[in-house]
Amino acid sequence: MDQTPIVSLASGHPLIDIDLTAVVQFCLFLLVYFIANRLLFQPYLALRERRREGIEGARAEAERMTAQADAKLADYQKSLAVARDKAGEEGRKVRLEAAAHEREATDKARAEAQKQINEAQAKMKAETEAARATLLPQAEALAKTIASKLLGREVT
């Protein structure tokens, strides 16, 4: 009859013999560990690091481009405000000069000032539309480029 583990313990024989095979197994484990580390784990970790750096680089580039676009938009809005202020100043100047003239000269100056304001507004509106027409396709292309970089595939 076979002895059960309890009986083998009671008879004084150990359940596991630690002999030269344990050392051989430990050496094989170390060999497999170093080979797997060199050929499997390190390349995988390097790939993950490159991927992380690529994603962070794309995010930084997107943030830089967004900041650049915001700066251009702020400059445009500042220029637009200056043009509005200039147009308003011109209108006020024309109205002050017109008050000093006779009624006919006043009417004529007011008509000229209104014409200049309309031209300035039309010019501002044309510039605004031109800027939108220029920036909107760039924004769409920029969004597609960013999405393509982040997703790693072409976005349509």
Q: What are phi and psi of 75, to 5 degrees?
A: -65, -40
For residue range 33-89, what is the model confidence (pLDDT) as tens digits?
999 999 999 999 999 999 999 999 999 999 999 999 999 999 999 998 998 998 888
Comparing 12 with 82, which gets the higher pLDDT? 82
Is 70 exceeded by the pLDDT of residue 11? no
Q: Where are the domains of the chain?
A: 5-151
The span from the CA of 123 to the CA of 120, in Å, is 5
* CA–CA distance, 156 with 149 (Å, rounded to integer): 13
Please provide the size of the chain in residues. 156
Token pair for residue 23? 């050392």
Give the global pTM: 0.35
Picking from 1-5, 56-60, 124-128, 142-146, which range would have the lowest pLDDT averaged per residue? 1-5
User: Which long-range contacts does 85-93 make (Cβ < 8 Å, 24+ apart)?
Assistant: 86/120, 87/116, 87/117, 87/120, 87/121, 90/116, 90/117, 90/120, 91/116, 91/117
How far apart, in Å, do the first and last CA atoms of the chain sit?
A: 75
